[in-house]
Chains A and B, each alone.
Chain A
Amino acid sequence: AQSVTQLGSHVSVSEGALVLLRCNYSSSVPPYLFWYVQYPNQGLQLLLKYTSAATLVKGINGFEAEFKKSETSFHLTKPSAHMSDAAEYFCAVIKGNTGFQKLVFGTGTRLLVSP
């Protein structure tokens, strides 16, 4: 069954530092993987997605993620953190067949950015 695991419930970085949020997946079929962001008091927004094309995926706000099959990972990175990046980030995978699919989310990682 498809699932994702996010390592670290909280990640703290300084403004301008590299952001690295970890996600590992488990899937018996080639996975479709996603990163979502949730700003305070808001719903989730899609950051980027991997759908078996290029392994390096670029998303909004300077974020990118690399699909590594050998490591079963889909880590999210941003070269330089901004205060506005402070939010909760969720990794997700599609579960199910073409008849009915649903998103299965990780438990989330809260990114804290300090000045």
Chain B
Amino acid sequence: DAGVIQSPRHEVTEMGQEVTLRCKPISGHNSLFWYRQTMMRGLELLIYFNNNVPIDDSGMPEDRFSAKMPNASFSTLKIQPSEPRDSAVYFCASREPGLGIDEQFFGPGTRLTVL
């Protein structure tokens, strides 16, 4: 299995531009998580999908952030417009049905830099 796949691995953009981060979960996993990692705030859960449905998006910072999961094999996290404070590493993780919340498999992350 290829594991959780995230693209791009690195993204550099200018303030005000739209950014789209992509995630392909492990085949057969029905839960998907988006996290943001910064030096100041550590690792924070942004949103959690179960069976393609958003269950908890209380961690999404503001309306500039949106996430979708159109099918079981693909999810996007979009930032529009982007701001320098959005610079962070964004992780996607997925989990197999029936397993505990700790049994998440993390992708390698997307390092976003907003200039």
Contact = CB atoms under 8 A, between A and B. Distances in A.
Interface of A: 32, 34, 41-46, 49, 90, 92, 94, 100-108
A41 B4 CA distance: 14
Interface in B60-111: 91, 93, 101-109
A45 B102 CA distance: 10
B43 interface: yes
Interface residues of B, number: 20
Given A43-B4, A102-B48, A94 B101 contact: yes
Nearest to A46: B102
B104 A103 contact: yes
Nearest to B101: A101
Nearest to B44: A105
Interface of B: 4, 41-45, 48, 55-56, 91, 93, 101-109
A105 B37 CA distance: 10
Given A41-B108, A43-B91, A100-B56, A105 B43 contact: yes
B102 A49 contact: yes
Interface centre among A42, A43, A103, A105 (most CB of B within 10 A): A43
A4 B34 CA distance: 20
Contact of B102 (A42, A94, A106): A94
A100 B55 contact: yes
A46 B104 CA distance: 8
A90 B101 contact: no
Contact of A90 (B43, B48, B56, B108): B43
21 contacts: A32-B102, A42-B106, A43-B93, A43-B105, A43-B106, A43-B109, A44-B91, A44-B93, A44-B104, A44-B106, A45-B106, A49-B102, A90-B42, A90-B43, A100-B48, A102-B48, A102-B56, A103-B102, A104-B45, A107-B42, A108-B42
Given A49-B102, A102-B56, A43 B45 contact: no
Contacts of B41: 107
Contacts of B101: 94, 101-103
